[in-house]
Structure 1
Amino acid sequence: MEYTNKIFNHSCLNMSELPDKSVSLMVTSPPYNINIEYGNKWDKGKLVESKGKKYIDNLEEEEYRTMLSVVIEETKRVLKDDGEIWFNIKNRYKNEEIIPPFWVMEFFKDMYLKNIIIWNFDWGGSTNKRFCSRYEYVFFFTKKKGDYTFNLEDVKIPALNYRPDRYKSQLKNPTDVWNISLVSGNSPERTEHPAQYPEELIERIIKVGTNPGDLVLDPFMGSGTTAVVAKKLGRNYVGYEIEPDFIKIAENRLNNVTQELF
């Protein structure tokens, strides 16, 4: 199919390349709209390092929410009847108070919320008048109430309190709190993308929510993590990204994927 295993260089507000009901799973992390110029390093108000592509994440609130609602509606159009959406977003801190992202659920009233995953990580920015934030959310929605892919056996983890006299297996169902580290500066998967999320996070989602050969969509492809993981796991991918430099990063990563698991 001419639209599979491609990253299109234009806005995901229009995914006209994709037919209706062609995608099995969408997973994405949209811009957070937290008014940060990514890619620059500052020290005491002075620019000390400039690395990677810069962009400013600062839309008017109404414009930002409208943009996400359009992308979500377009995703629903291309999503199969038994398809899934996994949506990563975080709290924002604005005007000296936290804004939780639960407003996004307004865009999914015609879908079924199965989990709100807490993605917990062990490092990040510091604060001095409130506790440091060390988590983000991943909302898991399905189009159908009960008929959807959930490959639990593929994502089970070792049980800490395993007792052979009580349990048949040393493996258990992961909880809805996932302890997965951010991509550090010295990580082998690190790129110049300023807001890269870890392959481990996407791997669990794609394994549990799709089967080999399924099509995975990421409307905000960024450095290509979704595509890389999909290719490694024998799934097809499609994505959208407006920054050509990010597409180059993604393509370089994809070219280095040598093992495909089917």
Structure 2
Amino acid sequence: MDFRDKIFLKSSENMKELPDKSVDLVVTSPPYNIDIQYGNKTSKGKVIDSKGIKYSDNLSEENYRKMLMNVFSECRRVLKDNGQAWINIKNRYLDGVVIPPFWILDMFPDMHLKNLIVWNFDWGGSTNKRFAPRYEFVFWFTKDKDKYTFNLDEVKIPALNYRPDRYKSQMKNPTDVWRISMVSGNFDERTSHPAQYPEDLIERIILSGTNKGQLVLDPFMGSGTSAAVAKKLGRHFVGYELVKEYYDIANERLSKIMEVNHE
């Protein structure tokens, strides 16, 4: 069975459809597990309108981490020997305390952390009890410490303080702090998914970490951003999604990209 360019409507805790060492890059943003009822509009702590898909992100901490361990164990199994994994995850604020996500390191014991990216954005939740959070992390792991794809020239950005007498090029390394806007309601890429990450974020990851024709896996596919970007950049994708509504959103999004590519 050709599993490329497909999204499976099932849990990614068992990816039996994927052979060992068949994937070049994993990129995903796992559920937050912060006990939010997604799909509801609230005001002063009360639901005032309901629309879209509803699901509660409220596993026990033990079951949450067990689920992630199962998924990431499968990701490590299907990654090629020179493969890599990019995991977008943020701090959680529970019971008045910040819980940093550094426990994610335990999920990749046999891989190597190459960068801890700080994704900085310009808007989000507000609070008057602490400084408003405006960043998330992206952990970049490689299976081999030395042999992995890194296409820096594909993702360089213009230097604001360029000096021809000191630098050969006006383009520079984007560093490990990425200022990329979150997906707002007026973005063309916006879907009804409540936690959609931006195509620009995934584009930088896929361009730097893969070559054309290679395979990108997202075990928490959501609205299909990883798949959409992969197809636009000439890569293959494979993914998993449990929620039928999101599965349908992703496939509709992909069908439009396929139509454009065939024009």
TM-score interval, smaller chain: over 0.9
- Give the ranges of 4+ consecutive aligned residues of structure 1 lying more than 3 Å apart after TM superposition: none
| Cα distance in 2, alignment partners of residues 44 and 137 from structure 1 | 29
| Cα distance in 2, alignment partners of residues 134 and 151 from structure 1 | 28
Preserved contact between residue 232 and residue 259 of structure 1 (Cα < 8 Å): no
Preserved contact between residue 224 and residue 249 of structure 1 (Cα < 8 Å): yes
Q: Is 1:155 the counterpart of 2:151 in the alignment?
A: no
Shift of residue 186, structure 1, vs aligned partner: 1.3
Q: Which residues of structure 1 form unaligned runs of 5+? A: none
Match of 1:249?
Answer: 249
Q: Is 1:216 the counterpart of 2:234 in the alignment?
A: no
| Cα distance in 1, alignment partners of residues 241 and 251 from structure 2 | 12
Match of 1:133?
Answer: 133
| Cα distance in 1, alignment partners of residues 111 and 9 from structure 2 | 29
| Cα distance in 2, alignment partners of residues 117 and 259 from structure 1 | 32
TM-score, normalised with respect to structure 2: 0.97
Preserved contact between residue 21 and residue 80 of structure 1 (Cα < 8 Å): yes
Shift of residue 70, structure 1, vs aligned partner: 0.8
Aligned pairs for 1:139-178 within 5 A: 139-178=139-178
| Cα distance in 2, alignment partners of residues 51 and 238 from structure 1 | 29
Partner deviation per Cα, 1:177-196 (whole Å, 9 max, x = no partner)? 00011100111111011110
Q: Is 1:233 the counterpart of 2:257 in the alignment?
A: no
Preserved contact between residue 119 and residue 177 of structure 1 (Cα < 8 Å): yes
Match of 2:32?
Answer: 32
Match of 1:202?
Answer: 202
| Cα distance in 2, alignment partners of residues 107 and 119 from structure 1 | 21
Matched residue of 2:114: which SS? strand
Shift of residue 54, structure 1, vs aligned partner: 1.2
| Cα distance in 2, alignment partners of residues 175 and 36 from structure 1 | 33
Shift of residue 50, structure 1, vs aligned partner: 2.0
Aligned pairs for 1:61-140 within 5 A: 61-140=61-140
| Cα distance in 1, alignment partners of residues 23 and 184 from structure 2 | 31
Percent of residue pairs identical? 67
| Cα distance in 1, alignment partners of residues 51 and 186 from structure 2 | 15
Number of corresponding residues:
260
Shift of residue 49, structure 1, vs aligned partner: 2.4
Preserved contact between residue 51 and residue 192 of structure 1 (Cα < 8 Å): no
Q: Which residues of structure 2 form unaligned runs of 5+? A: none
| Cα distance in 1, alignment partners of residues 251 and 29 from structure 2 | 19
* Letter aligned with residue 104 of structure 2: V
